[in-house]
Amino acid sequence: MQKHFLIAAVVTGMLSLAGCQSAPPAPAKAELNDEAKIALAWAESDAKTAQSQGALWTTADDALKAAKKAAAEGDSAAVIKNAKTASTHAKLGIEQLKLPLMTLGSK
């Protein structure tokens, strides 16, 4: 009887220890540097301004999406590159509104 109790205790102990096993920790997400955070904030602001004026180019929107994706992955260099493109294209879209409207056939 004691032998069965001892075996049951050992098996129970092994099972409880097996339950303590946990998955390996997830790799730490890289933190964006300050320049990337600022560039992303400016790009979001510039795109919002262009959008409100109906001047947001699709290239600016695509670059902003790429910057946000890079931010989620912690890639500061890609955030800066795409955010600068988004800001530039958003500003160019706004500047384009200031140009005279041309119609075909006009001189």
Highest mean pLDDT: which range of 9-13, 38-42, 98-102? 38-42
Instruction: Give 86's DSSP letter.
Output: H
* pLDDT tens digit sequence for 77-86: 999 999 999 9
What is the model's pLDDT at position 106? 61
Short-list 93, 87, 68, CA closest to 78: 68
Extract the tokens encoding 7: 């075996």
Cα–Cα distance for residue pair 91/5, rounded to 1 Å: 78
8 A C-beta contact, residue 97 and residue 55: yes
Residue range 35-57: mean pLDDT, rounded: 97
Rounded distance between C-alpha atoms, residue 68 and residue 62, angstroms: 10
pTM recorded for the entire structure: 0.70
Distance CA 19, CA 5 (A): 21
